[in-house]
A and B are shown apart, each in its own frame.
Chain A
């Protein structure tokens, strides 16, 4: 036993941990590796040579990348903004009020993240059909908002539960009206929870494909574009280049969210 009292992990445990890490991350490493391969027909291992030319190709010769990328970014930003506003309002309402059916209502809020995406997708698609709503950026945004709201809601609710309720009263007692109290007391309290929830929501929306497939119509978000590329390949490594980009765009916010909230906060809903 060491002086800090925590038992040392045995060799077997270390080995299985290492294998677990490898199993999770080797495929990711391969994606990154083949973005640099010199050969573009079949992904032979090891790659015959390494080159940066696919990055140049993606940048100069493939204008079909940019509309899906732009659409994905736009959807993610709008869905996240929507989720931050609605998720915070929902969390505040359900934290402060107590009424008949409160537990059921909060379950209904969390349900979309537990529900398989395919169900959400089909449900939304038939709803749009019935209401005669044509597919647009907004139908995708709506689909993504269903689970983005949950992520923000969960994070903010957890933060509210850790904050003393009398703090809001104290602020009012000291002369601050509702808006001033929100700005000087509530917002600073939930700021990191909002940031974490928002980043997660962004990352979830950016790479969502199942719900998107049902709500996008003929539009193509980046994940849909990539799927199409794999089915009808041309310049295969370009897909990997874009994948590297997606890894970067989704990984950085998740990492930031993790660091901002690791003091005991769980970023619920990270598994979607």
Chain B
């Protein structure tokens, strides 16, 4: 099957900076694909390579089987939702949404009808005559979405689209974007530095670091089986154990990760068996359903997430953390 987007050994260098360094990836049609990574990791440059705002220094890019490198943005069947929305302030919301159709030469009556439809789709019916300046952040973002979707792109690119919204709105938009993607069946490529957002929305996540993809897979894959220390550190708050510590506690002689939810907490008594460690509680963080318990065991900081109310603990208590050997995931030392 033809990939929606395909990178073959793509690099984009800015002078000595390797923003994107020999990246290969294939995004399936209809997939919700997240590019996740810290700032400067190359994820946004990858998105801009797909959009056509950047051209690769080396490598080959295909969009639905067609060679994309060398094509300017206006000759690609992809549309972008920008981080700052980039609405045109001198046009009404309706004109903004209809802009792509106007450029294509669609007749006024038809483009107005389609702009109206698009605004209804993103739940802003009747906003045609307003100006972008009169809208809230959340509304602007919806207009930006409608302006991209009205062109029926083959791939929709979203550059940190939820970054500027407050938490509640962000969660709501996450759900809506997900539903919209299911409804339209368009390939969504989504750039974010928020691991929670990537894991909860995407079908597949690629983790970027220093211009390379260090791991890609389903959210569960990434979360449960991080391949390197970087991924374990970056995706959520996994426990990372050094080779010595891991070996002493029933694991392999390599760096391992251990999810906080996989740890059971009990009172320390007797000698700790393999697969457990004793330590003093140095932090208790109540987070609603879960409480995070932080201990220092033999110089290693460990965090357990236990159901709130299941244990009664105080800072300074000596406790025992216990886990199954199978919960230890060996990783590369990167």
- Whether chain B is bound by chain A comes out as yes
Q: Do A170 and B103 touch (CB < 8 A)? A: no
Q: Do B82 and A171 touch (CB < 8 A)? A: no
CA distance A185 to B103 in the complex (A): 12
Q: Which of A164, A174, A177, A188 contacts B99 (CB 8 A)?
A: A174
Asked whether A172 and B79 contact (CB < 8 A) given A164-B84, A166-B86, A188-B90, the answer is no
Q: Which of B72, B80, B102 contacts A170 (CB 8 A)?
A: B80
Q: Is A229 an interface residue (CB 8 A)?
A: no
Q: Do B51 and A173 touch (CB < 8 A)? A: yes
Q: Do B74 and A176 touch (CB < 8 A)? A: yes
**B111 vs chain A, min Cβ distance (A):** 12
- Cβ proximity bits B98-141 to A, threshold 8 Å, 1 near / 0 not: 01101110000000000000000000000000000000000000
Q: Which of B53, B83, B87, B103 contacts A175 (CB 8 A)?
A: B103
CA distance A180 to B51 in the complex (A): 18
Contacts of B38 in A (CB 8 A): none
Contacts of A185 in B (CB 8 A): 88
Contacts of A188 in B (CB 8 A): 88, 90
Interface range for A: 10 to 19
- Cβ proximity bits A225-263 to B, threshold 8 Å, 1 near / 0 not: 000000000000000000000000000000000000000
**B107 vs chain A, min Cβ distance (A):** 16
Asked whether A174 and B90 contact (CB < 8 A) given A164-B84, A169-B73, the answer is no
**What is the size, in residues, of chain B's interface with A at 8 Å between Cβ atoms?**
25
Q: Which of A167, A173, A180 contacts B88 (CB 8 A)?
A: A167
- B interface residues (Cβ-Cβ under 8 A, vs A): 51-53, 72-74, 78-80, 82-84, 86-90, 99-100, 102-104, 147-148, 151
Q: Do A175 and B100 touch (CB < 8 A)? A: yes
Q: Do B151 and A174 touch (CB < 8 A)? A: yes
**B81 vs chain A, min Cβ distance (A):** 9
Q: Do B80 and A173 touch (CB < 8 A)? A: yes
- Cβ proximity bits A116-142 to B, threshold 8 Å, 1 near / 0 not: 000000000000000000000000000
Q: Do A169 and B53 touch (CB < 8 A)? A: yes
Asked whether A170 and B104 contact (CB < 8 A) given A175-B151, A176-B74, the answer is no
Q: Which residue of B lies closest to A168 (CB)?
A: B86
CA distance A188 to B80 in the complex (A): 22
Contacts of B99 in A (CB 8 A): 171, 174, 176, 184
**A162 vs chain B, min Cβ distance (A):** 10
Q: Which of B72, B84, B89, B147 contacts A172 (CB 8 A)?
A: B72
Contacts of A177 in B (CB 8 A): 72, 74
What 4 A-B pairs come out closest when comparing CB atoms?
A174-B100, A170-B86, A166-B86, A172-B73
CA distance A175 to B90 in the complex (A): 18
CA distance A270 to B204 in the complex (A): 58
**A108 vs chain B, min Cβ distance (A):** 26
**B49 vs chain A, min Cβ distance (A):** 13
Contacts of A175 in B (CB 8 A): 74, 100, 103-104, 151
Q: Which of A166, A169, A176, A189 contacts B103 (CB 8 A)?
A: A176
